[in-house]
Amino acid sequence: MELGRRFNEPLTFGTAGIRGPMGAGPARMNRVLVRIVASAVAERLLRDPHPGGAVIVGYDARHGSRDFATDTARVLAHRGIRVTMLPEPMPTPVLAFAVKHLEAAAGVMVTASHNPRPDNGYKVYWRGGSLLAAPVDREISAIIDGTAPLSPGDLSAADDPRIVTVADEVIKAYLDAVVGLLSPRGPRSVRMAYTPLHGVGADTFLRAVAGAGFDAPQLVADQAEPDPEFPTAPFPNPEEPGTLDGLLRLAARMDADVAVAHDPDADRLAVAVPAGDRWRLLTGDETGCLLAEHLLTRPHPTEDHDPGDETDPDRSTDPDREADQDAPRRRLVINTVVSSRLLARIAAAHQAEWAETLTGFKWIMKARSQRPDHDLVLGYEDALGYAVGEAVGDKDGIGAALAMAELVAHLKTEGRTLLDLLDDLHRCHGAHATGQRSIRFEPTSRQEQPMARAMAGLRTTPPTELAGAAVTAAHDLSGGSPHLPPADLVVLELGDAAARVCVRPSGTEPKMKIYAEAVVAIDDPDNTSQLRSAQAEAQETVATLLDATARHATAPD
């Protein structure tokens, strides 16, 4: 049976890459498969009429990552493509930045991000530093399907002159870029607890924190160093219950102002805050909306420079540049269709534009690219992914953590906390609560796919009510919408649209994901009792909707 699982259902090249358990066979991550994928990336690059530019290759600290990265470089070099390798295991955002900064043709990051310990993976970035998107992803997938396993002669020597290692100047440029996201004269007094979850984020984050002028955070000692065994967190996903218990204990012990965690490749950020005598993890939506409020409220970082400071890098005597700077530009915030609608209300309050995309960060960056006359302030997805500003063309947990530290330090000068600011957002825009639930469907055969059947049922016969509330609209996005491309997603609106449920299958696992949001209006913003009651009601509604939707999705036909 195990042999069948390894050969009958090979791993597929999907959204921006490929990921799965390590092991032998086409259904596992191994050097045979990695060489095939690298060859397909090379072939697609060489089909471009102007394929110039190197490919940047990076890797994390998981088992096999260095070998996968080296094999990738050797395959590319054998095809005549120049390769620039990051010097050591590095965070994914550094790789994404380097692709953009060095004007590379593409980038490859060997990482399984926050997947379980046995996994590894392979992310591909394209010109400009954004994740691979259609149609190039489909074209590479088709090339993979037609590529036979490579022989030793299909790889160059490890010392091929076309393979070079990037200098530390690129890392310094990344650090300068993320530190430049902050207001240079803003407050910096904040006590942070931090964990990289046995991943590669600590060194780069600590350098960024020092460069920004914050005191060094205290680290969870037994999670501070990269360790492919993940001894304290075999499921190193900050959203996984219990994964951040060590961080919360440290934060309480040191009386921290905030606790932050990166996933193992540091492209996601989790935030926890003191709440009375306990610590509470913020949801991805709460973190995203708090960051948006902060970034839209504060002056732009370049506005903090002394007008007479001739060293200001944004000053220019170029008349064309000055004309560009004088042109009206709108600020832009973006989140996904399953994320909170609170972001749209925050944007409207600050006269900024809001855009909504499908799930997946490649869609967020595509929405940004479609608005060249806008400045991206924040893009986020509920699964703890945030892009602050224009520094990196993908989610970046390090830049987001710096922005969060700046916000906490600013609130501290006012004697306030993140939860105080969240209360203010609810007073102004209504108490918003979000939540999600995953339901695993194990297929019994290739023909019998219960999750697909459940999704089809939601499309053809959506429920008329959930948890006692009437379903007033059901939107099947399989055919797209006026502002979204087609997607395997169903959105149910309830009552007066103050609540909604989104249902979609996972792109990587046999799971159906259910997202719920409820909004409760607050008539008297100064009435704290009413605020707490509205927040509790919104949370209860979300929990009830998740339960009801899960029952409906799994009910027998």
The pair of structure tokens assigned to 387 is: 């892009």
Mean pLDDT computed over every residue of the chain: 90
> Facing residues of 431 across strands?
520
Q: Report the largest interatomic distance among the alpha carbons of the chain, rounded to a whole angstrom.
A: 74
* More confidently predicted of 326 and 419: 419
Query: Is 60 exceeded by the pLDDT of residue 243?
Result: yes
Window from 15-19, 39-43, 107-111, 489-493 with minimum mean pLDDT: 15-19
Of 113, 130, 156, 340, the catalytic one is 113
pLDDT for 312: 40
The pair of structure tokens assigned to 352 is: 């900024």
Q: Is 528 exposed, middle or buried (0-12, 13-18, 19+ CB in 10 A)?
A: exposed
Q: Which helix (H) or strand (E) holds 333?
A: strand 330-336
CA angle 388, 394, 397 (to 5 degrees): 55
Window from 127-141, 150-164, 443-457, 498-512 with minimum mean pLDDT: 443-457
CA distances for 389 relative to 18, 65, 421, angstroms:
27, 30, 21
Q: How confident is the model at residue 321 (pLDDT cuts 50, 70, 90)?
A: very low
Q: What are the tens digits of pLDDT across the range 289-300?
A: 999 999 999 876
Peptide bond into 228 cis (omega under 30): no
CA–CA separation, 433 vs 425, rounded Å? 12
In the chain, pLDDT over 70 holds for what percent of residues? Answer: 91
Q: Which helix (H) or strand (E) holds 270?
A: strand 269-275
pLDDT for 329: 82
39: annotated active-site residue: no
Q: What are the tens digits of pLDDT across the range 323-339?
A: 445 556 899 999 999 99
Strand ranges inside 382-530, DSSP E: 385-388, 431-440, 465-466, 469-476, 490-494, 499-505, 511-520
| pTM (2 d.p.) | 0.91
The pair of structure tokens assigned to 488 is: 């395997």
| Domains delineated in the chain | 2-168 (3.40.120.10), 194-301+328-426 (3.40.120.10), 430-554 (3.30.310.50)
Q: What b-and-e string marks burial along 212-228, b requiring 16 or more CB atoms within 10 Å of the CB? A: bebeebbbbeebbebbb
Q: What are the tens digits of pLDDT across the range 114-126?
A: 999 999 999 999 9
Give the residue-averaged pLDDT of 415-422. 98
Are 264 and 60 spatial neighbours (Cβ–Cβ below 8 Å)? yes
The pair of structure tokens assigned to 318 is: 């170029």
Q: What are the tens digits of pLDDT across the range 174-187?
A: 999 999 999 998 99
In the chain, pLDDT over 90 holds for what percent of residues? Answer: 75
DSSP state, residue 500: E
DSSP state, residue 315: -
Residue with tokens 């969870």: 220
